[in-house]
């Protein structure tokens, strides 16, 4: 069902809706099919988890939910069929938020043991007031994901040293060459700046998204943001994660050898875990970027693109930036 190459926990799964006919526990259900984007799913799950916790209820999640690739979620797992049946059962006790990103006060749980809350719920106010500790615990990366991220980060010092090494002689025969490294080449005191570049077709070519108000951060933003994050530091390494690495390589500023490295880019969960390990972050637009900032608790500076959403757009009317972006983050246009 899920195609990640690492092992993930296999929780108990409920395949018969009659399981919910006689129970003492309260349950909260929702529709997780609005978006398959990792950041979007994380917002939805985090908001619902906080609501369920406040109601002393268990959150019901389809076993096909791809968040399981990254996290061991504390939820009641059901088959997709049972998830649909529960939504039908709760049609009369369903509360739906009508905007993606505005915070809407969720009413108290209706009578009965099963209720539903629907919506994108892409606003941190749903969970940062009382549920932030809970959400951070839920979004602890699986050991297999974290290990891949740590292995990538630990490889960068040696890769940096190799790129900066000076050739002494090269004969053209494999193995018959020698290089001289700088005395401090294998430094353990590097400052890693994660840069997320969102330039995929969902934002570049999807007219519906663009009309709604989504914009891509321009090259000039990255140039300024990377310089701001670097400051006067010398031992800096930029870690670039992107859904369009070709654009990033062509448009991001260049630095001396051994300064810029690309994320593996194969699995979005690993890329997010890598960015969460960096010492500073340059964010793009969208929820994936937002979550890299939220999950990174060591970054000394987090910079975001302040001209998102597009001024005057429908999305702009839905997003309260003072609610969406933490005050500790740095806006930059």
For the chain, what are the domain ranges?
A: 13-138, 143-332
Strands (E), the chain: 13-14, 26-29, 57-62, 76-78, 94-96, 114-118, 166-170, 177-180, 191-197, 236-242, 260-262, 280-282, 301-305, 330-332
User: How many residues make up the chain in this entry?
Assistant: 333
Q: Provide the pLDDT for residue 165.
A: 84
Q: What is the pLDDT of residues 11-26, one digit of tens each?
A: 999 999 999 998 889 9
Give percent of the chain above pLDDT 70. 93
Q: Provide the pLDDT for residue 205.
A: 58
Query: Residue 206 — very low, low, confident or very high, per pLDDT cuts 50/70/90?
Result: low
Res. 169: pLDDT tops 80: no
Q: Provide the pLDDT for residue 46.
A: 98
Pairing outcome for strands 94-96 and 26-29 = unpaired
Res. 95: pLDDT tops 80: yes
Please spell the DSSP secondary structure of 228-254, one letter per residue: HHHTT-SSEEEEEEES-HHHHHHHSPP
Task: Report how far residue 18's alpha carbon sits from residue 182's, in angstroms, rounded to the nearest whole number.
Answer: 68
From residue 204, how far is each of 179, 218, 233, 304 by CA, in Å? 43, 12, 33, 19
Res. 273: pLDDT tops 70: yes
**DSSP code for 66:** G
Query: Residue 130 — very low, low, confident or very high, per pLDDT cuts 50/70/90?
Result: confident
What does the mean pLDDT of the chain come to? 93
On whether the pTM is more than 0.85, the answer is yes
Contact of 212 with 314, CB cutoff 8 Å: yes
Query: Residue 129 — very low, low, confident or very high, per pLDDT cuts 50/70/90?
Result: confident
Query: Residue 289 — very low, low, confident or very high, per pLDDT cuts 50/70/90?
Result: very high
Task: Report how far residue 169's alpha carbon sits from residue 283's, in angstroms, rounded to the nearest whole number.
Answer: 42
Identify which has the larger pLDDT, 112 or 232.
232
Q: Provide the pLDDT for residue 217.
A: 96
From residue 192, how far is each of 54, 66, 145, 156, 260 by CA, in Å? 38, 29, 19, 10, 10
Q: Provide the pLDDT for residue 208.
A: 74
**DSSP code for 142:** P
Res. 1: pLDDT tops 80: no
Query: Residue 247 — very low, low, confident or very high, per pLDDT cuts 50/70/90?
Result: very high
Res. 209: pLDDT tops 80: no
Closest C-alpha to 273, from 136, 149, 153: 149
Task: Report how far residue 35's alpha carbon sits from residue 296's, in angstroms, rounded to the nearest whole number.
Answer: 24
Give percent of the chain above pLDDT 90. 81
Task: Report how far residue 132's alpha carbon sits from residue 125's, in angstroms, rounded to the nearest whole number.
Answer: 10
Q: Provide the pLDDT for residue 200.
A: 72
Closest C-alpha to 222, from 241, 209, 200, 203: 241
Q: Provide the pLDDT for residue 268.
A: 98
Task: Report how far residue 211's alpha carbon sits from residue 257's, in angstroms, rounded to the nearest whole number.
Answer: 40
Q: Which helix (H) or strand (E) holds 207?
A: helix 207-212
Res. 154: pLDDT tops 90: yes
Query: Residue 187 — very low, low, confident or very high, per pLDDT cuts 50/70/90?
Result: confident
Which segment of 29-33, 173-177, 314-318 scores lowest on mean pLDDT?
173-177
CATH number for the region 143-332 comes to 3.40.50
């Amino acid at each position: 069902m899920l195609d990640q190459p690492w092992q993930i926990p296999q929780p108990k799964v409920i395949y018969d809706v009659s399981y919910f006919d006689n129970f003492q526990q309260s349950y909260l259900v929702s529709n997780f099919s609005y978006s398959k984007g990792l950041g979007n799913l994380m917002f939805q799950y985090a908001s619902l988890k906080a609501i369920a916790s406040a109601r002393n209820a268990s959150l019901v999640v389809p076993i096909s939910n791809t968040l399981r690739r990254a996290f061991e979620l504390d939820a009641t797992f059901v088959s997709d069929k049972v998830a649909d049946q529960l939504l039908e059962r709760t049609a009369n006790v369903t509360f739906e938020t009508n905007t993606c990103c505005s915070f809407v006060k969720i009413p108290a749980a209706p009578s009965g043991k099963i209720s539903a809350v629907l919506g994108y719920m892409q606003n941190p106010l749903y969970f940062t007031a009382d549920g932030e500790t809970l959400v951070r615990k839920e979004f602890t990366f699986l050991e297999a994901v974290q290990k891949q991220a740590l292995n990538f980060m630990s490889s960068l010092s040696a890769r940096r040293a190799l790129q900066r090494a000076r050739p002494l002689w090269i004969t053209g025969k494999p193995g018959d060459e020698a290089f001289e490294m700088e005395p401090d080449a294998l430094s353990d005191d590097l400052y890693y700046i994660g840069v997320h570049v969102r330039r995929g077709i969902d934002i570049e070519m999807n007219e519906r998204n663009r009309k709604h108000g989504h914009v891509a951060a321009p090259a000039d933003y990255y140039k300024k943001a990377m310089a701001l994050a670097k400051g006067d530091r010398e031992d800096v390494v930029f870690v670039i994660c992107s859904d369009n690495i070709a654009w990033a390589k062509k448009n991001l500023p260049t630095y001396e050898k051994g300064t810029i490295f690309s994320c593996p880019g194969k699995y979005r969960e690993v890329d997010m875990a890598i960015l969460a390990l960096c010492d500073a972050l340059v964010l793009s637009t969208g929820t994936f970027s937002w979550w890299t900032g939220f999950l990174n608790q060591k970054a000394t500076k987090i910079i975001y693109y302040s001209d998102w959403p597009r001024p005057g757009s429908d999305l702009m009317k839905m997003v309260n930036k003072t609610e969406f972006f933490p005050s500790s983050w740095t806006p930059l246009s």
